[in-house]
Amino acid sequence: MEDLANLKEIIKEGELSVEQDPVLGSEDKTPSTPVYSRTVDKLQRAYATGKRKTAVARVWIKSGSGKITVNRIDAAQYFKRDVLKLNIKQPLIASSKDNMFDIMATVSGGGISGQAGAVRHGISKALTYFDPTLRPQLKNGGFLTRDSRIVERKKYGKAKARRSFQFSKR
């Protein structure tokens, strides 16, 4: 406590300015923007995990012809609905890299819609690790944000999370 009081006295006397002190730092520093670097493994693949509801997807991307496999099955066969097929391709379309990457994903948990959302989130994150210049584009599109909506828990004294049991007045 004495050291802090001594330091304040030294600053008041003008012997040491705030700009010179490495502990106190500079008052007029502008916040520095983070620098993102390319993160790939020895096989030149970028890895990321994506989550949606209770589904978790592990995604690897590498340069290629645009083949997407989910749990060792072609994505077009795994996700039967066209909406889900489009959903997982959205980050690639938004970044104009539609047929430039081979994507391999393993996904578990949740239902088919949650799994598609998890793969989409994983692809978005893996794209930013592979090519950091795509980050602002994907961030503006909302692809990097984890959708935190999950099922609300059931409460005691209720039939479901919010639905009450039938009430009879008489």
Q: Provide the mean pLDDT of the chain.
A: 88
Report if residue 54 sits inside a domain.
yes
Report if residue 134 sits inside a domain.
yes
- pLDDT > 90: percent of the chain: 72
pLDDT of 34 reads 79
Residue 130: C-alpha distances to residues 12, 51, 118 (Å) = 51, 19, 18
Report if residue 14 sits inside a domain.
no
Report if residue 60 sits inside a domain.
yes
Report if residue 41 sits inside a domain.
no
Number of domains in the chain: 1
% helix, strand, coil for the chain, step of 5:
35, 15, 50
Domain of 51, in residue numbers: 46-141
- pLDDT > 70: percent of the chain: 82
Report if residue 16 sits inside a domain.
no
pLDDT in tens, 15-67: 555 555 555 555 555 667 778 888 888 899 999 999 999 999 999 999 999 99
Q: How far is the C-alpha of 72 from the C-alpha of 68, rounded, in Å?
A: 9
- Residue 63: CATH number of its domain: 3.30.230.10
Q: Do 109 and 55 touch, CB atoms closer than 8 A?
A: yes
Q: Identify which has the larger pLDDT, 24 or 112.
A: 112
pLDDT in tens, 145-169: 999 999 999 999 999 999 999 999 9
Residue 108 clears pLDDT 80, i.e. is over it: yes
Report if residue 38 sits inside a domain.
no
pTM of the model: 0.77
Give me 169's structure tokens.
């007045």
Report if residue 101 sits inside a domain.
yes
Q: Which of 37-41, 116-120, 125-129 has the lowest mean pLDDT?
A: 37-41
Q: How far is the C-alpha of 154 from the C-alpha of 147, rounded, in Å?
A: 21
Q: Is 13 exposed, middle or buried (0-12, 13-18, 19+ CB in 10 A)?
A: exposed
Give me 49's structure tokens.
């995990």
